[in-house]
């Protein structure tokens, strides 16, 4: 069971990484092509500019998801550095649960937003409807919530290994 879980997790990580790298590669590729087309051939794709901006959102969201893998989010960590181990664990659990609640709410309300857009669809670019572009928000917030829930559950059993988070 444990082996299976670890495999699923590893596969998920690879999937996220590849998605992130792929999105960035697409961003660079499309942006450069657009410049060449515009300056060299006085043309360009109508959908490219909108698509690039959606790509930025996706990169941001998935980057944030990957960042939550080892809690590399920006925080004001003043208390944490001076606490004894047990207290630090309690604080870690509290912070994680807090994040779970907020992310769950964000997932819920951004899902409501996506639903509204789904019911009266509009196009973001080319033939891609806006709600598809927006759906990255509820999905990632949901996954970030799950990730922090796992942190909260596992912390009591885990030795605290905290490297100084670089932002």
Q: How far is the CB of 62 from other proteins (least distance, A)?
A: 7
If DSSP codes are grouped into helix, strand and coil, which group holds residue 42?
coil
User: What is the phi-psi region of residue 165: left when phi exceeds 0, alpha when psi lies from -120 to 50, beta otherwise?
Assistant: beta
Min separation Cβ 90 and other proteins, Å: 10
Nearest approach, Cβ of residue 138 and other proteins (Å): 8
Give the DSSP H/E element, type plus range, for residue 13. helix 2-41
Span near other proteins by CB under 8 A; candidates 3-11, 40-48, 95-103, 149-157: 95-103
Facing residues of 125 across strands?
128
- Beta-bridge partner residues of 128: 125
Q: Is 142 in the site for other proteins (CB under 8 A)?
A: no
In terms of Cβ atoms closer than 10 Å to its own Cβ (0-12, 13-18, 19+), residue 49 is middle
* Nearest-approach distance from CB 36 to other proteins, in angstroms: 10
Binding site for other proteins (CB under 8 A): 17, 20-21, 23-25, 27-28, 31-32, 35, 49-50, 52-54, 56-57, 59-68, 71-81, 91, 94-95, 98-99, 102-103, 105-106, 109-114, 116, 124, 133-134, 137-138, 164, 166-167
């Amino acid at each position: 069971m444990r082996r299976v879980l670890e495999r699923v997790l590893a596969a998920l990580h690879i999937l996220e990484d590849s998605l992130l790298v792929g999105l960035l590669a697409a961003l660079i590729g499309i942006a450069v092509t657009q410049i060449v087309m515009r300056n060299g051939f006085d043309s360009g794709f109508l959908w490219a500019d909108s698509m690039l901006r959606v790509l930025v959102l996706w990169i941001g969201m998935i980057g944030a998801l990957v960042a939550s893998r080892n809690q590399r989010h920006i925080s004001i960590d003043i208390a944490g550095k001076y606490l004894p181990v047990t207290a630090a664990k309690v604080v870690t659990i509290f912070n994680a649960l807090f994040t779970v609640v907020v992310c769950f709410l964000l997932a819920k309300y951004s899902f409501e937003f996506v639903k509204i857009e789904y019911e009266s669809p509009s196009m973001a670019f080319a033939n891609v409807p806006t709600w598809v572009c927006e759906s990255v928000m509820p999905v990632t917030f949901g996954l970030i919530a799950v990730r922090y829930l796992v942190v909260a559950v596992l912390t009591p059993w885990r030795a605290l290994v905290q490297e100084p988070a670089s932002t």
